[in-house]
Amino acid sequence: MKPTLQLKLSTGLTLTPQLKQSIQLLQLSALELNQEISRIVQENPLLELDEGINQEEFETEGRDSSLASSDLSATAETDESRDIRENTEILDDWSDNSSYSDQESFFDTRRQSDEEYDQDYSRLVSKPVSLREHLLMQISLRQRCERKKKITELLVDSLDDDGYLTQDLEELAKLLPAELEISTTDLKSALAYIQQLDPPGVGARNLRECLSIQLSALPDTTPLRTEALKLVNEHLESVAAKNFPLLRKVLGCDEACLQSVYQLITQLNPKPGDDFSATTARYVIPDVIVTKSVKGWVAQLNSDSAPRVRVNHLYADILKQNRNEATRPLMEQLKEARWLIRNIDQRMVTILRVSQAIIDCQQAFLEHGETAVRPLVMREIAEVLGLHESTISRITTQKYMWTPHGIFELKYFFGSHIPAETGEAHSAIAIRGLIKQLIQNEDRKKPLNDSQVSQILAQQGIVVARRTVAKYREFMHIPPTNLRKMP
| 99-103, 332-336, 411-415: range with lowest mean pLDDT | 99-103
Q: Give the three-class secondary structure for 279.
A: coil
Per-residue model confidence (pLDDT) at position 206 = 93
CATH 1.10.10.60 in the chain: give the residue spans.
417-486
Per-residue model confidence (pLDDT) at position 423 = 60
Q: Mind listing the pLDDT tens digit for each residue in 80-133?
A: 444 444 444 433 443 444 444 444 444 444 445 454 444 554 455 557 788 889
Q: Mind listing the pLDDT tens digit for each residue in 268-316?
A: 999 998 888 766 667 788 999 999 988 889 999 998 887 788 888 887 8
| 48-57, 232-241, 302-311: range with lowest mean pLDDT | 48-57
DSSP 250: H
Residue type for 71, please?
Answer: D
With a cut of 50, say whether residue 416 has pLDDT above it. yes
Per-residue model confidence (pLDDT) at position 66 = 36
Give 417-486's CATH code, choosing from 3.40.470.10, 1.10.10.60, 1.20.1270.360, 2.30.30.90: 1.10.10.60
Q: Are 400 and 409 in contact (CB under 8 A)?
A: yes
With a cut of 90, say whether residue 358 has pLDDT above it. yes
- Mean pLDDT (the chain, rounded): 80
The Cα 486–Cα 444 span in angstroms is: 6
Stated pTM of the model: 0.64
What is the DSSP annotation of 315-347?
HHHHHHH--SGGGHHHHHHHHHHHHHHHHHHHH
The Cα 25–Cα 294 span in angstroms is: 33
Mean pLDDT, residues 413-425: 72
Q: Give the three-class secondary structure for 295.
A: coil
Please report, rounded to a whole number, the percentage of residues in the chain having pLDDT higher than 70.
81
* Sign of the four-CA dihedral 231, 235, 239, 244: negative
Q: Mind listing the pLDDT tens digit for each residue in 337-346?
A: 889 899 999 9
The Cα 449–Cα 44 span in angstroms is: 62
With a cut of 80, say whether residue 151 has pLDDT above it. yes
With a cut of 60, say whether residue 48 has pLDDT above it. yes
